[in-house]
Amino acid sequence: MRKIIILLIGVLVVSTTYTKACSKKLESTTVDSTLNDNVSAQNQDIVVYRLFPTENMWNFIKLNTRNGQMWQVQYDVGGDNRIETDLNLVPLVLKKKEVNGRFTLYSTQNMYTFILLDQLDGKVWQVQWSIDFMDRLIIPIE
């Protein structure tokens, strides 16, 4: 009888320890996941440049999130059609008002048109990318 009681106490101690360890690990994983989500969100705010995909698989728009400058980036896996060309080289805010993450792009239903948003003052611009230089533009929406 004494051996059975000692065995039951041993099983109880082991199961309690295991349960606490699993609970602590789950809590740690949840905290780590929350921290990773927060770090990811913060990193989006601290980056200067971001790439935004277009519906054309070969083209992206590179945005300077501090001042609104943009470039069209085209890649090519088998040829010589790699380019980076300007869409807007004029900063849209004064140097002293530049902040990482200030500007962002939103796609529209037109694959060539994006909306550029100044997330601090709410100003918006229509951005048009194109292979043809004459079809590229950025104009304020007022």
At 10 the pLDDT is 57
At 136 the pLDDT is 95
* 26-62 pLDDT, tens digit each: 444 444 444 444 445 545 568 999 999 999 999 999 9
CB distance 104 to 114 below 8 Å: no
> Would the pTM of this model clear 0.85, i.e. be above it?
no
* 94-142 pLDDT, tens digit each: 999 999 999 999 999 999 999 999 999 999 999 999 999 999 999 999 9
Q: Higher-confidence residue: 25 or 103?
A: 103
73-108: b or e for each residue (b if 16 or more CB lie within 10 Å)? bbeeeeeeeeeeeebbeeebbeeeebeebbbbbeee
The CA radius of gyration of the chain, in Å to the nearest whole number, is 27
At 8 the pLDDT is 55
At 101 the pLDDT is 96
For residue 19, count other CB atoms closer than 10 A to its CB.
Answer: 10
For 141, the enclosing helix (H) or strand (E) is strand 137-141
At 2 the pLDDT is 62
* 64-92 pLDDT, tens digit each: 999 999 999 999 998 888 999 999 999 99
